[in-house]
C-alpha cells in the first residue's frame, strides 16, 4: 500500500479561492446610526439567513458584546436559533416565522421567544410550557396588510386576551410587518400603522399592557420614525445598505467585501469565443483572466456579459457566461495582472468601488439577494480595527 502523507489540521484560509471580509467596525458604526435615529427604542437585530450572508453566529457574538447591544436577535427558523444557542449566544432570540407544532418542545428547551398567530400553536405551546414548568415569552403577530403570516386585525383583540390569560405564556410583544415602507407613497404604510395603533388602543382600553410593540424595519427606521414604537427591527441597514438606495446619505457602511483569486491569465486572438454558449466573442486580441468565483458561490448568472470586477484598481468587464465555479474577465487594460493575484468582486480598490447595490442593479434584483447569495465556499474573515482575529 503506498505511503499516504497526513497533513496536520490547520486554518485553511490561506487556501481559500474567494474571501468575504466582514468589517465588524462598520457593523458597529451602522448600529450606532440606528441608535442615533431611534433614540431610546430597543433594537431587535435581524440575523436570519446567516445574517444576510455575513455569518449569523459571528455577527451575533460581536453585537452581544457591543456597546450598543440589541435586546433580541431575530431569526426565521428554529435551526437558525439552535445554531446560535449551540454557538454560545445566551441572549433572547425571536423566531419570526411562527411555531410549527412539532417544534414546540425544542422552542422551550432552547429558551426561545416565538412569534404566535394561531390558536393550535398557542395551545401546544401552553401545554408544553406547563409540562416543563416554564413560562414562554411570545410575540403576537398581526397582519395589517402584508398578506403573509399574522392574525387578521379584527380577531387580534380576542386572541391577545386569550393569550394573556394562559399559564405558561407571557405576551411580551405585539408586531406587524410593513409591505413597502421603502416607497415614497406612504398611504398604504400609514394605513398599516393606523391598523396597529387601533389594536393598541383597544388593548389599553381593556387594561392590557404589552411591553413591546414593533413594526419598523430598516426602511421605516430611516424614513418613517412614527412607526418605531419602542422596539425596531433593523436588518439590511445593519449590513450597510438602505432599502431605498440612500446608503451614502444615511452614512451606512457596507460590512462585507468580497475578493477572489485569479486562476489564469492568457492572451487570446480576435474572434475567440469565451465560455459556454459562445455568447461573447473577442473583437480584438485580448487578455482574459479566469477568476475563482461563479454562480455556485453567489456570483449571479445574470452578471454574464454585464458585470464588472476591480483588478489592480481598475474596473474590468465580465465576458462570457458566468460558470458554476469560474468567471472570465477582459483584463487587457491591466496587463500586469497574474495568476494568484486577487480581484475585488464587492468592495473598494484604489479609487473604484463596486457594492452589492450596484450588482443588484445589473441583475434587476436587490442588495438583500446579492448578500444572502454569497455561498459557503467564500471564506468569511472577520476584521476589527484593521485586524483579522479569525476566519470561518
From CA 122, how far away is CA 3, in angstroms rounded? 61
Rg of the chain over all Cα atoms, to the nearest angstrom? 24
The answer for residues whose C-beta is within 8 angstroms of residue 302's C-beta and 6 or more apart is 362, 363, 364, 365
* 8 Å CB contact between 252 and 235: no
Phi, psi (degrees; rounded to nearest 5) at 213 = -130, 130
From CA 95, how far away is CA 98, in angstroms rounded? 6
- Which residue in this structure is represented by grid cell 418605531? 228
* 333 has catalytic annotation: no
Check the CA dihedral 211-216-221-226 and report its sign.
negative
Of 69, 276, 333, 388, catalytic: 276
Longest CA span, the chain: 82
* 276 has catalytic annotation: yes
Residues belonging to the active site: 48, 276
Amino acid at each position: 500500500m503506498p505511503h499516504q502523507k497526513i497533513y496536520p489540521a490547520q486554518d485553511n484560509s490561506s487556501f481559500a479561492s474567494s474571501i468575504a471580509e466582514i468589517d465588524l467596525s462598520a457593523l458597529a458604526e451602522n448600529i450606532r446610526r440606528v441608535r442615533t435615529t431611534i433614540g431610546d427604542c430597543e433594537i431587535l437585530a435581524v440575523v436570519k439567513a446567516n445574517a444576510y450572508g455575513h455569518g449569523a453566529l459571528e455577527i451575533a457574538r460581536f453585537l452581544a458584546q457591543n456597546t450598543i447591544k440589541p435586546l433580541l436577535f431575530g431569526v426565521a427558523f428554529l435551526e437558525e436559533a439552535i445554531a446560535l444557542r449551540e454557538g454560545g449566544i445566551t441572549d433572547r432570540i425571536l423566531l419570526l416565522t411562527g411555531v410549527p407544532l412539532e417544534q414546540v418542545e425544542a422552542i422551550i428547551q432552547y429558551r426561545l421567544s416565538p412569534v404566535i398567530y394561531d390558536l393550535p400553536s398557542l395551545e401546544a405551546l401552553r401545554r408544553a410550557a406547563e409540562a416543563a414548568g416554564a413560562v414562554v415569552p411570545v410575540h403576537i403577530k398581526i397582519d395589517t396588510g402584508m398578506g403573509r403570516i399574522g392574525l387578521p386585525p379584527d380577531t387580534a383583540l380576542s386572541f391577545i386576551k386569550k393569550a394573556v390569560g394562559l399559564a405558561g405564556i407571557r405576551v411580551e410583544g405585539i408586531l406587524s410587518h410593513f409591505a413597502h415602507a421603502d416607497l415614497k407613497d406612504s398611504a398604504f404604510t400609514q394605513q398599516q400603522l393606523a391598523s396597529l395603533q387601533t389594536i393598541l388602543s383597544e388593548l389599553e382600553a381593556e387594561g392590557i399592557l404589552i411591553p413591546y410593540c414593533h413594526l419598523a424595519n430598516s426602511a421605516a427606521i430611516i424614513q418613517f420614525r412614527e412607526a418605531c414604537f419602542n422596539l425596531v427591527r433593523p436588518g439590511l441597514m445593519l449590513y450597510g445598505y438602505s432599502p431605498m438606495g440612500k446608503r451614502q446619505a444615511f452614512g451606512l457602511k457596507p460590512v462585507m467585501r468580497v475578493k477572489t483569486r485569479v486562476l489564469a491569465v492568457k492572451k487570446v486572438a480576435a474572434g475567440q469565443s469565451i465560455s459556454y454558449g459562445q455568447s461573447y466573442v473577442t473583437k480584438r486580441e485580448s487578455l482574459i483572466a479566469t477568476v475563482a468565483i461563479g454562480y455556485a458561490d453567489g456570483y449571479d448568472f445574470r452578471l454574464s456579459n454585464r458585470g464588472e470586477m476591480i483588478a489592480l484598481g481598475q474596473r474590468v468587464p465580465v465576458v462570457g457566461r458566468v460558470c458554476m465555479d469560474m468567471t472570465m474577465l477582459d483584463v487587457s487594460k491591466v496587463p500586469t495582472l497574474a495568476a494568484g493575484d486577487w480581484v475585488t468582486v464587492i468592495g473598494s480598490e484604489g479609487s473604484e468601488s463596486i457594492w452589492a447595490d450596484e450588482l443588484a442593479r445589473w441583475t434587476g434584483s436587490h442588495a438583500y439577494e446579492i448578500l444572502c447569495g454569497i455561498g459557503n465556499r467564500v471564506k468569511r474573515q472577520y476584521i476589527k480595527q484593521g485586524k483579522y482575529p479569525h476566519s470561518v
